[in-house]
Amino acid sequence: MYLILVILAVVVCVLLGAIVLIQNPKGGGLTSNFSSSSQLMGVQKTGDFLEKGTWILAISLMVLSLAINISGKTGSASKNDNTDVNTTAEKAAKLPTSTQPLTLPATGSNGSTGSTGKK
């Protein structure tokens, strides 16, 4: 599911980039290619189509981003994290435990027990 959403998001990004590049901020864009009087769509309708396409693709990209984020958290990666926690807990349970208090090692003959050095 995660891979399908990522591929779909890449396709939407490419389409969104293409639509934005087709548009011209000064009103030329795709409509400047239709200079004859027998147009299939009018100048205003072409601009409306490109603007609606931009909005639809931008909103779908946001929704896909949220869906990828949600599916990534509940996908296979989090299942592996849970098994790692379980195996760590099992290893900790198998470690030997000691009820004896810790003792400090015996000091050497050079007097390194923290004495002041007076004899």
The better pLDDT of the pair 77, 24 is held by 24
Look at residue 105 in the predicted model and tell me its pLDDT: 74
Q: What is the mean pLDDT of residues 97-116?
A: 66
Question: Cα–Cα distance between 12 and 2 in angstroms, integer?
Answer: 15
Q: Confirm whether pTM is higher than 0.85.
A: no
- Distance between CA atoms of residues 66 and 62, nearest Å: 6
- Copy the structure tokens of residue 70: 């949600």
Residue at 116 is within a domain: no
The C-alpha atoms of residue 100 and residue 40 are separated, in whole angstroms, by 91
pLDDT tens digits along 41-80: 555 667 788 889 999 999 999 999 999 999 887 655 445 5
Whether 65 is covered by a domain: the verdict is yes
Structural domains in the chain (count): 1
Spell out the alpha helix ranges (H) of 1-119.
Answer: 2-22, 43-73, 76-94
Asked, for residue 50, whether it belongs to a domain, the answer is yes
62 in a structural domain: yes
For the chain, give the percent of residues with pLDDT over 70.
49
Domain extent for 1: 1-25+45-72
In a domain, 10, yes or no: yes
Q: Is 36 inside a domain boundary?
A: no
Position 8, amino acid: L
Whether residue 83 is contained in a domain is answered as: no
